[in-house]
Structure 1
């Protein structure tokens, strides 16, 4: 894969993931209007453990299969990749069903740990149990999708993953909003019942995504079979050998994929308790902060992180092939290109989001809890940079078979989060949890970057220079955004969503124009984005 193919694949997946994230953000507005902050918190109680079990059930399969297929394709052996797909569908079906049974049976213990019997928020333990059990059904289907997506990515085909993700999200959101409205306003059902069926939308959406992937596979089957016939070699690996290799790739990736969910699990079990007992907040207020932190603000900062998610999926086959073929030059170029794109796109996005926190939260989530939401978003936004860098550096380590360093990085960062979360909340209030997450990720990123430098002999001097330039441009952009946000807020009082949206649009638009103008005039945009965007290079 050339640098331009790398960028093209990243753009395809970025677009798919970006659309998915935007849809995942937009639906929160009507859903919150239907169920309120109480229902949103209940929804989170179900989705957080589901996300963890999903990562365990898939075992890092998409990236592991992508690496496996890419490696044997590079060796001219298309037989092995196809055998892995066929046997893997059975294996993932079994693992998904086991994960479903596990989460279903653990629903009550989890609910009892998260909620007290006398919880003042209005959510009951039985509501939480129902929500967790309803969302667990999706675990039967999603692992099967994971292996098909990984197979296509191993062939450097990113379209099926992108399209299936978007379709899955559209169906899920439509189901959530429609069922919630019907249960609450047509049948006058309880909030717990409505939220429970809303989480069942994960299963319905997964069925839609699986149908899309099967369509792509059927459509491309003739060309895939032709590749198998023209294979130069067939290693004829026994299934036991094949799965030993796959598991060797997958286990580290499963832990890395658990990074954000594990951090959220720490907050799930410690945030409310620490806010009440250490920071002196009331239970209802603590839960409002938790909802703003884990749902609203988190969804916003994951939008720039979607670029890194796409990049981590795209670069793995490229890095694996370069490492397999001992192509040091291509490996070095890929590492450079990856770092450049992540820094160039995520740094201004994260800092810009921090500066427009108040109008962004007001425009997107309304004025209920605006002070809390803006406060959390402002503190949380810079963490998007570290989330992004961790994702791509972990993928780079996987490509060069040093994935265990990514595990070491995750454990180090998570240990810091676990040891300091309650302590920091007691010292700094809700921002303490954000600080523990940010420093934990910084530790993990440092470990990953060190390992990449050590095992690829990579010199960070060039990336350091790029970062300084990006930081300078971001600083100038930030000055414009901050000035406009303050001035417009004084002129247009933030008392309606329309005013907030106007402030947000003008500030973000001006910031984007300033940043891209500086990047284009300096030639940085053309250097980072490559020959396909040669028009951006300095003349």
Structure 2
């Protein structure tokens, strides 16, 4: 894949994932209006174990298959990728069914750990059990989608993944909002019933996403068959050997893909109990939990979507360059990846800190604005760490050093496990954020060191770019804070309309300042490449 294709593929996936993340953020606003923060917490009780089981069921398949197919395509062998896809569909069906059974029958155990059975406030255990069991059904479909997406990505075709993700999200959200509204307002149902059926939207969306992928497969079947016919070699790898190689890629990928779910699982098990030990009543603890793991988390995932797209796109390119010993291409790809991530995510995180109150008030209402502002200001910088970890882990996988990404994640999660309860009792609800931040700093440090050593990557240019981005971001943030402070004197945050005025005006000023400085300095053109040559300084 050429640099142009890398950028184009990144842009396609970035657009798809960004739209998906934006939809995932936007629906939270009406969903919160329907079910409240208590309903958000209940929703997360089901979704967190679901994401963990999903990662285990798919075993890192999308990226692993992408890496495997890309490697053998580069060697002129298209037969091997086809055989992997056919047998992999059977295996993914089996692992998805097993994951469904595990989650379905462990629902009661999970609910009893998270909630107090005899509590008269907050969510009920039986509602959490129902929610977990409803979302578990999606595990029957999603793993099958994973291997098909991985096959397309390995063939450097990012469109099917992007489009299927968007369609899946649209159907899921439409289902969630329609069902919860009908249950709560038309049938006058209970909160637990509404949230339980909302999580079933994951299954409805998965069916839609799978239908899109099958349509792409039918449309491109003739081309795929011709590609196989023109293969210059067939390694005829036995299935056991094929899967041994695939799992060598997939197991580390699966574990790395569990990064955010593992951190959220630690919070699922320890956040509410630790908050109660710190003196918070259950309903307040659940509000903080919902803000931390749902509302503010959705906000910081917007810049992280860029990193997610990059990690999906660069793996085939890194693998191809590494397999063919194209060191110059390898170094260019690593450099471009780092630059884009830093250029886009650091100012985005700084902007969230600067307008934490207005953004939370605009999007989630004023009722819990103080809690949201408090959590978001602390949590926003973690978006940069999430992004860097995602792309560095993918880089290590591309150069067959994925074990270091696994070690990095183990170190970070261990830090989270050891410190989470202690930090929450010391610092209150923000202690959970501090534990996550410390864990990710540790993980990123290991990954960055490993890339420098094993890819022989020189970080001098990246350090220079980082300093430029930090300086430009500081200028931008100062402008945003100044504008927001002035506007809040005229439009106090006592209505969503006022919050929206402060938010849009101050963010608009920040974007104009940052891009103006970046373009005039030539940084934007250097980072974004020749396709944005108009941004280069004359």
How far apart in 1 are the matches of 2:474 and 2:190? 49
* Matched residue, 1:228: 228
In the TM superposition, residue 503 of structure 1 has moved relative to its aligned partner by 0.8
Where do residues 374-385 of structure 1 align in structure 2 (5 Å cutoff)?
A: 374-385=373-384
- Contact 1:120/1:283 (CA < 8 Å) preserved in 2? no
Partner of 2:76, secondary structure, is: coil
Give a deviation string over 1:56-97, Cα, whole Å, max 9, x none.
001100000000000000000011011111111111011101
After superposition, the C-alpha distances for 1:17-67 in whole angstroms (9 at most, x for unaligned) are 111111111111111111122211111110010010011001100000000
> How far is the alpha carbon of 1:325 from its aligned partner?
0.3
Alpha-carbon distance between aligned partners in 2 of 1:457 and 1:38, rounded to the nearest angstrom: 50
Q: Is the 8 A contact 1:340 1:528 kept in 2?
A: yes
Question: Matches of residues 278-293 of structure 1 in structure 2 within 5 Å?
Answer: 279-293=278-292
Deviation at 1:185, TM superposition (A): 2.1
* Other structure's SS at 1:398 match: helix
Matched, 1:239 2:235: no
For 1:298 and 1:158, locate their aligned partners in 2 and report how far apart those are by CA, in whole Å.
26
TM-score, structure 2 length as denominator?
A: 0.99
Which whole-Å CA distance do the structure 2 matches of 1:290 and 1:120 have between them?
A: 18
Give the C-alpha shift of residue 220 in structure 1: 0.6
Cα offset for 1:124? 1.2
Per the alignment, residue 467 of structure 2 pairs with: 468
Matches within 5 A, 1:168-207: 168-207=168-207
Cα shift readout 1:228-278 (whole Å, capped 9, x = no counterpart): 00001000111111111111100001110000000001111111111121x
Query: Within 5 A, what are the aligned runs for 1:61-460?
Result: 61-277=61-277, 279-460=278-459
Cα offsets for 1:371-404 (capped at 9, x unmatched): 0011101110000000000000000000000000
CA displacement 1:198-228 (0-9 Å, x = unmatched): 1000000000000000000110111111110
Tell me what 2:522 maps to.
523
CA contact (8 A) 1:473 1:518 kept: yes
| Counterparts of 1:38 and 1:469, CA distance in 2 | 43
Query: In the aligned structure 2, how far is the partner of 1:148 from the partner of 1:290?
Result: 35
Are the counterparts in 1 of residues 114 and 273 from structure 2 also a CA contact under 8 Å? Answer: no
CA–CA separation in structure 2 for the residues paired with 1:535 and 1:405 = 39
Alignment check: 8 A CA contact 1:164 1:209 kept: yes
Deviations 1:490-521 (A, max 9, x none): 11111111111111111111101111111111
Q: What do residues 161-212 of structure 1 show as CA deviations (whole Å, max 9, x unaligned)?
A: 0100000000001111111122222222221111111100000000000000
Q: For the residues of structure 2 that align with 1:189 and 1:297, how far apart are their CA atoms?
A: 28
After superposition, the CA RMSD in angstroms is 0.8
Q: Does the CA contact (< 8 Å) of 1:38 and 1:121 recur in 2?
A: no
Q: How many residues align?
A: 538
Structure 1 segments of 4+ aligned residues over 6 angstroms from their partners = none
Contact 2:304 / 2:383 at 8 angstroms: preserved in 1? yes
1:450-473 Cα distance to aligned partner (Å, 9 max, x none): 111110111111100000000000
**Structure 1 residue 340 displacement after superposition:** 0.4
The 8 Å contact of residues 343 and 467 in structure 1, kept in 2 or not, is answered as: yes
Mapped partners of 1:478, 1:335: distance in 2: 28
Q: Distance in 1 between matches of 2:368 and 2:31?
A: 16
Distance 1:285 1:194 in 2: 21
Task: Provide Cα deviations, 1:329-363, integer angstroms capped at 9, x if missing partner.
Answer: 11011000000000000000011111110000000
* Structure 1 residue 4 displacement after superposition: 1.9
Structure 1 unaligned residues grouped into runs of 5+: none
TM-score when scaled to structure 1?
0.99
> Are the counterparts in 2 of residues 120 and 284 from structure 1 also a CA contact under 8 Å?
no
CA contact (8 A) 2:38 2:283 kept: no
In structure 2, runs of 5+ residues without a counterpart are none
State the distance in 2 between where 1:290 and 1:190 align: 21
In structure 2, C-alpha distance between the alignment counterparts of 1:125 and 1:328, rounded to whole Å: 56
Counterpart in the other structure of 1:41: 41
Q: Distance in 1 between matches of 2:65 and 2:250?
A: 8
Kindly state the Cα deviation for residue 126 of structure 1 after the two structures are TM-superposed: 0.9
Report SS of the residue matched to 1:367. Answer: coil
**CA contact under 8 A between 2:359 and 2:499: conserved in structure 1?**
yes
Partner SS for 2:325: coil
